[in-house]
Chain A
Amino acid sequence: MNPELQRNVWLELNPTRLAVMPLVIGLIIMVASLGGGMRSVMEAAQMLFVVIAVVWGAFKAARTVTDEVRDRTWDSQRMSGLSPWAMTFGKLFGATIYCWYGGLIALAIYAATRMMAPAETNVTAPLWLDLLRLVLGAAFAQAVALSASLAGARRRRGQARADSFLFFAAGMAAYIGAESLHGANSVLNSMSETFAGEVMRVTWWGAPVDAAVFGVASLAFFTLLAALAAWRLMRVELQSAAQPVAYAVLAAAAILWFAGFQQDGPDRALAALVVCIGLTWATVWIEPKDVVAWRALAQGAPGAGALVPATLTALAITWTTAIAGAVLVATQGPSNELASALAAPAFAAFVTRDVLVFAFFHLGDRQKRGDFAAVLTIVLLYGFAPALLSGVTGSTLVKAAFYTDAADGFTANTVSLVSALIQAAAFGAMAYARFRARAEGLRLQPAAS
């Protein structure tokens, strides 16, 4: 057995706990059955699954790394010979194994009630699809919580315990998002068409697909991506060579899913750009801003490939997508879409500026406040500055210098692109000056003085 899974089994599954779980579930189901028929039992079982496997499971997954950091066992785990995948799997299913034990008991009751009294329980979705949706929803929430926990441990090592709730919240937010893919009021159904007498179908990459099946397949896809993200973060922690390829694969997968809902090339490219921008921002938040690693990278230290920040890869993909989008919009879109074509690189340039704002503040003396100062600056640049300058000058073009609106026309989007590039260059130059000054200061400074 996977040693990490084995360790968790030792810790989580003892005879007392194994006996208590079915007793508690049985008691709750019995109470539910007194208040109503099979439908009440089914609903109680489903609710129990959500509480035990999703909520408790995400909580356990969120704490699995932070507890190791707090209990000072994380370094010895980082020195282990387990592969990153074995460690990820061992933690993901090991830390939550008791939750799965209880969840699967609840799920069995849910399935049994549906099979025994289909008319009374009155659920239209096929049982297998429903069970898959529930299981994948729990696995997704847990995988996201574990990924968030690993990302948090990298950023704020040693203080991570206090952040456990945030990682848990990330898992729950992911679950709620995943749930929005299912049911009569789901996001997918709002995009679906009902063909006479048939099931709801959503058009994805030009093909009509059963919305319910597509929802569960999408959930499986995103669960896999979340597990891949956890694996990628674990690779970094275990010091397996972490190449930027993993991020590119994750980004490509996300682009593939989102762009599939658009009907033509230009729209797909712009949807891909929106995904890329979102992912770039995510890397800015997730990755530690390790100034020393940047210096080692700049000096081409041995093994520096592992130090390439995912944000750089994200920016490269964003720019590639933006330029591809601009070309597609300019060549395949309606003839008046040249303005929109310019908007794509303008969006990318503004994101580049934002990344450089973060770099500039993290290279300052008060590095711990870098995120706060950067966010404040970005808010001022997107919100306060255009409002103030538009009011003072009375020009509608001024706001284009601070953010892009694809519908604003050729001149405005040209102003956006040029302004964003100038701002990015300015913050880049200031960040570089700080980078040089800091490196020079360390070179001249006596050690540890």
Chain B
Amino acid sequence: MIEAEALVYDYPSKRALDGVSFTVRPGDVLALVGPNGAGKTTLLRLLAALDRPFSGRVRVDGRDAVLEPRRVHERIGYLPDFFGLYDDLTVARCLTYAARARGVSAHHVRAAVEKAAVRVGLADRLGARASELSRGLRQRLAIGQAIVHEPSALLLDEPAAGLDPEARASLSDLILALAAEKMAIIVSSHILAELEDYCSAMLILRDGKLVRGGPIHAGGGPGMTRLRIGLTAADPRLAQLLPTMPELQVLELGDGGALVELRADPEAAADLLAALVGAGLRVTTFAPERQSLEQVYLGAAREVAR
């Protein structure tokens, strides 16, 4: 788990991050988006305990990044936006070095290397030099090096930059697989389309601050779901009924329908549908609605502009 609390980071003459707080739970894949210069890379470097915040705290699995940076390094994997590889080493040796350097014991190195190679799809290229790999495979090797020590959190800075569509699809699969293994993952990018496949929520950084103060869930807040309700014709009873429903928030309301947010619980949805039908409303649409990340981002951007 990654916890950031009131993070402030200063450059000598400018504040790069200002009061950033959020939590990423095991299995979450969080998109970190924002325009160039918003502070995304700075934030990732603080989370990776490579730089220290001016104030605030970062904890990874409960370990404080300022007070115990080396213990945080044990639990985290980080792929920088511009990463380097030891080009003259083979894939096996790159992974072996990464494993040994990240504290994997000599007895377990071989198994760790094989597992990482399988995870990133390089098991058949262990003998190839890093310099001989395509860009997509180099990206995979770099991720392999970042996860060879089985971290509980993974930070990826612009991982899909420069990849072809096939390599991007493979990367999506890999990220989803790692998330399924309960790794907490943050992926920074300013290309929203590439995040759509695997991110459950996003942090929007703008001028060093989080827009809306924390993670924004495209399909509703954490533990919540959004439902689109449509009627055969405009009916004023809908506007009267919805506000009376418990634990339900009306996001949009029109004559012929509404967008509501409620607990992500089938029983809650069933109760709502029963209430609508019971009130005599002729329901034609009753379906979960998930906004695209781009819609959410643009909506948030419009809020900031206002």
Contact = CB atoms under 8 A, between A and B. Distances in A.
Do A and B pair up? The answer is yes
B52 interface: yes
B209 interface: yes
Interface string B36-78: 0111000000001110101101000000101101100110101
B97 A11 contact: no
B98 A11 contact: no
Contacts of B188: none
Contacts of A303: 52, 66-67
A438 interface: yes
A210 to B, nearest CB: 44
A389 interface: no
B10 interface: yes
B14 interface: yes
A81 B74 contact: yes
Nearest to B66: A303
B244 interface: no
Contacts of B101: 3-4, 77, 80-82
Contacts of B38: 448
Nearest to B98: A76
Interface string A1-23: 00110110011000000000000
B103 A81 contact: yes
Interface stretch (A193-201, A288-296, A377-385): A288-296
B84 A73 contact: yes
Interface residues of B, number: 49
Interface in B11-50: 11-18, 37-39, 48-50
Interface stretch (B85-93, B228-236, B259-267, B285-293): B85-93
A295 B89 contact: no
Contacts of B37: 448
Contact of A11 (B48, B50, B89, B102): B89
A80 B73 contact: yes
A301 interface: yes
Contacts of B18: 446-448
Contacts of B78: 75-76, 79
Contacts, number: 116
A219 B40 CA distance: 48
Nearest to A447: B208
A11 B54 contact: no
B207 interface: yes
Contacts of A72: 80, 82-84
Contacts of A10: 89, 93, 97
Contacts of B57: 302
Given A445-B14, A447-B208, A448-B16, A79 B85 contact: no
A77 B80 CA distance: 12
A440 interface: no
B100 interface: yes
B15 A448 contact: yes
A56 B102 CA distance: 30
Given A79-B48, A303-B52, A448-B37, A295 B84 contact: no
Contacts of B200: none
B208 A448 contact: yes
Given A239-B49, A447-B18, A447-B207, A79 B66 contact: no
A447 B12 CA distance: 13
Nearest to A291: B12
A83 B279 CA distance: 70
Contacts of A441: 13
Nearest to B81: A72
Nearest to B69: A239
22 contacts: A6-B97, A6-B100, A10-B97, A11-B89, A72-B80, A77-B101, A79-B76, A80-B102, A81-B70, A81-B101, A81-B102, A238-B70, A292-B12, A303-B66, A367-B13, A445-B15, A446-B15, A446-B207, A447-B15, A447-B17, A448-B15, A448-B37
Interface of A: 3-4, 6-7, 10-11, 68, 71-73, 75-82, 238-240, 291-292, 295-296, 299, 301-303, 365, 367, 438, 441-442, 445-449
Q: Which 10 A-B pairs have the closest CB atoms?
A: A447-B208, A81-B103, A72-B84, A447-B18, A3-B100, A80-B101, A73-B84, A239-B69, A448-B208, A71-B84
